[in-house]
Amino acid sequence: MVVAGIASIPTRIEALYRVVDSIVDQVDLVNIGLNNYTEIPERFLGNPKIHCDLLDNRYADGAKFYHVSEVNGYYFSLDDDLLYPPTYVKDTIHAIDTYTCIVSYHGKRFDKRPIQSYHRSFTTNVRCLGSWPYDIEVHVGGSGVMAFNTKDFKLSVEDFKSPFMADIHVAKKAYGQGVKIMALAHKNTYFEYLGTTDTPIWNRRRGNMEETLLVRSFLH
């Protein structure tokens, strides 16, 4: 089974429609965590491939993993402001099967310890919206362009103890299970950024020491 998980907030609804359209034909099921929505958008009602949960934003970006522990197969975690290419699932499953680990198209390496700042101390930075020429193991992967087989990596929404830090929570769980994270080669045209009126998580938490402390808790 191939399942995609997305978390969204109401200000991104138009982008969410386009994201779902880009992925729904590539997977068996799309689970959408609707953070702070008051109702399920009519457009999703009656579609057997789309399941929605009305949530209170307790998990924030971690809501893209709301049903991950129930999935037996490939799990794709997506952002609500990126368009995914028509070959995305096929391309990514090939990489998962090759490496038998978590894969992403975004990630960071922290080769100098102790880590002084999560946002400044990385030694390698792979960006999903930039080009990257080769596959590389990273310490933290971007959860908006991430996938894995649930037989290789076990995760639950309860692992997301604090909001807006999904990438680091996944990395910590992977580290504890001895599961690698590989960032994959790609062109800067592979994804399309839709842009939103909401403040991106990167900017919202930039300089927040909580992220640095969390990554230090397992990379030391």
pLDDT of residue 113: 94
Q: For residue 212, how many other CB atoms are within 10 A of its CB? A: 19
Place of tokens 């975690």: 77
- 218 CB neighbour count, 10 Å cutoff: 14
Torsion sign, CA atoms 154, 160, 165, 169: negative
pLDDT of 46 reads 93
Residue 200: per-residue pLDDT: 54
Structure confidence at residue 198 (pLDDT): 61
Quote the distance between the C-alpha of residue 158 and its chain's center.
16
CA separation for the pair 40, 52 (Å, rounded): 7
Residues pairing with 102 in the sheet: 181
Q: Which amino acid is at 200?
A: P
pTM of the model: 0.95
Q: Identify the pLDDT of residue 207.
A: 56
What are the residues whose beta carbons fall under 8 Å from the beta carbon of 136, sequence distance 6 or more?
Answer: 107, 109, 124, 126, 182, 183
Per-residue pLDDT of the chain (220 residues; tens, 9 = 90+): 999 999 999 999 999 999 999 999 999 999 999 999 999 999 999 999 999 999 999 999 999 999 999 999 999 999 999 999 999 999 999 999 999 999 999 999 999 999 999 999 999 999 999 999 999 999 999 999 999 999 999 999 999 999 999 999 999 999 999 999 999 999 999 999 998 656 555 445 555 799 999 999 999 9
Confidence (pLDDT) at 195? 84
The candidate with the shortest Cα–Cα distance to 158, out of 76, 80, 67, is 67
pLDDT at 47: 97
Q: In the numeric block, which tokens belong to residue 77?
A: 């975690």
Fold classification of 2-216 is Spore Coat Polysaccharide Biosynthesis Protein SpsA; Chain A (3.90.550)
Expressed in angstroms, the distance from the first to the final Cα of the chain is 36
Region of residue 132 (phi > 0: left; psi between -120 and 50: alpha; otherwise: beta): beta
